[in-house]
Amino acid sequence: MLAHEFEVGVTPYGQLKIIIINKFIFSFEMRAIFLSNPILLLLRLPSSILLHPPRLLLSHQSVNHLRHRYRYRYCLHCYCCSSTTIVPAMDANIKPSSESPPDHSVGDWFSVPELRLRDHWFTVPLDYYSDAKITVFAREVVAVGKEEQENLPYLLFLQGGPGFESPRPTEASGWIKKACEEYRVILLDQRGTGMSTPVTVSSLAQITSADKQVDYLKHFRADNIVQDAEFIRLRLLPNAGQWTVLGQSYGGFCAVTYLSFAPQGLKQVLLTGGIPPVKKGCTADAVYNECFEQIFHQNEKYYKRYPKDIEVVCEVVSYLAESEGGGVVLPSGGLLTARGLQIIGLSGLGSSTGFERLHYMFERVWDPILVPGAKKSISYFFLKEIENWMAFDTNPLYALMHESIYCQGSASRWSAHRIRKEEKHSRFDAIKALKEGGPILFTGEMVFPWMFDEIHALKPFKDAAHLLAKKKDWPSLYDIAVLNNNKVPVVAAVYYEDMFVNFKLAMGTAKEIAGIRLWVTNEFMHSGLRDGGGDVFDHLLGLLDGRKPLF
């Protein structure tokens, strides 16, 4: 085998060497630091190094090919934004500077009852191999009196979504109170949410081209969220140590991506309603085929609890269908149609108090008739509540990126919309159900193309949404071979009647994660971590520390 070695200059972490084998295989070795991990592909290698010395003849085309092919297996951060400084993002051996780096700033401690909190801001690369930057925000939370406790282990919380920020604690309660008994909790606003350079209706509107919006939004998936987490870990944890990750729902998807591509940063992982399908292609089709069945059963349970609502919902659908334009104008300027009414199942059918909230909302659907002969109309209260439930105006990233979380090397092609149109799911056709006497079935965690016509906040992004649905070159989010050889302790709460993360698909993925311990329960719904106080979190800790039996 013909091999050539080239010395490429000194970095703060050792001599960098590039090995070219048969002109096809490129490996990078950084002496001393990387003796235990010699094969690294430098995705952020500056052109000044790539072209020096002159005998190292790597074309830009070759470099871009390498970056594209390997960017998610091996990736590097630019630590000081210098064109000659290189720091591997996902190598636990690298230690941060003893001085506070310029890309990390820290706020002062403040208090809520029984907790102390402080804010952290990190300046991170948008895509980890270009110079564009965004800000990522994280909030540190400890029990009162533990601010300076040096041996307190770190726990990173990854919120559900995609496109939703971490909780804002107002007191010590629930799982956060329980976690703060043992951990220093880091509540991460995933990129694009909360205070992490948020993608909002107004901020995204600054990018006027749909193509450029897509070029920006493509960096807001689990792969780059994990890169951000590693960036933060290397700067925040003493001696760049490992931390525990708690992933709720989509946060669990991100945690499995973390297990795939940066397990060296993880001490242990807890998943709550968050085991993703990991096969290549677009797994959204499989997700919706399975989820429509669970959503149907949730509708059945709802109408069994509130049978009179069958007539009420049919009456509302009839009113909307007969209205001019096929719907009623919402307070924001959008249009509430029959199919738009159905999507409130997203909030109403999948959480512990959703049935009650949905029923109480329909109690006030009609305006009272104050003047004899006045026209019947849907109440402002009801229309406003509909918009409050959907939250697309405050968190548009969810609608824009939802189906992409299921894509690896394939386009979603509006998966939920296609699957819903299949004959076997025709019972979700509201007008057809109305003609047959009901009931009208609500839908669940699904995004449809017509939402970008009917929801006012989403209208400006219709073209970008269609481009995202057609996008095929989504990179890998999971490495099944790595998961099969996983060494990180992993525990998961799997909710038997979960409307959002299908039980059957979750169990299939669990078989691919070596060593995972499962707690399968129907005691909680998808919102179990929030609803169960500290019980769900404590149960999972018991699986990790031996308090719960192995069998």
The letter for the amino acid at 525 is M
Q: Which of 127, 189, 223, 249 is catalytic?
A: 249
pLDDT in tens, 367-384: 999 999 999 999 999 999
pLDDT in tens, 269-304: 999 999 999 999 999 999 999 999 999 999 999 999
Residue 546: pLDDT band (50, 70, 90) is: confident
Contact by Cβ (8 Å): 231, 240: no
The whole-angstrom separation of Cα 168 and Cα 112 is 10
Tell me what percent of the residues of the chain surpass a pLDDT of 70: 81
DSSP helix/strand/coil, 372: coil
Give catalytic status of residue 473 as yes or no: yes
DSSP helix/strand/coil, 453: helix
- Domain spans of the chain? 104-198+219-277+477-545, 284-367+376-470
Q: Which of 219, 425, 526, 539 is catalytic?
A: 526
Taking phi first (over 0 means left), then psi (-120 to 50 degrees means alpha), and beta for anything else, what does residue 480 get?
alpha
Mean pLDDT for the stretch of residues 402-416? 97
Give catalytic status of residue 4 as yes or no: no
Identify which has the larger pLDDT, 346 or 84.
Answer: 346
The yes or no reply on domain 104-198+219-277+477-545 and CATH 3.40.50.1820 is yes
DSSP states along 489-512: -EEEEEETT-SSS-HHHHHHHHTT
> CB within 8 A of 373, min separation 6: which ones?
none
User: Beta strand 490-495 with 517-521: parallel, antiparallel or unpaired?
Assistant: parallel
pLDDT in tens, 481-507: 999 999 999 999 999 999 999 999 999
Residue 101: pLDDT band (50, 70, 90) is: low
Check pLDDT > 60 for residue 445. yes
Check pLDDT > 90 for residue 100. no
The whole-angstrom separation of Cα 237 and Cα 60 is 36
Q: What does the mean pLDDT of the chain come to? A: 85
Q: Which of 203, 209, 379, 473 is catalytic?
A: 473
Q: What angle do CA 160, 165, 170 make, to 5 degrees?
A: 105
Check pLDDT > 60 for residue 92. no
> CB within 8 A of 318, min separation 6: which ones?
434
Q: What pLDDT score does 403 carry?
A: 97
pTM recorded for the entire structure = 0.83
Q: Which of 34-43, 414-423, 442-451 has the lowest mean pLDDT?
A: 34-43
Give catalytic status of residue 539 as yes or no: no
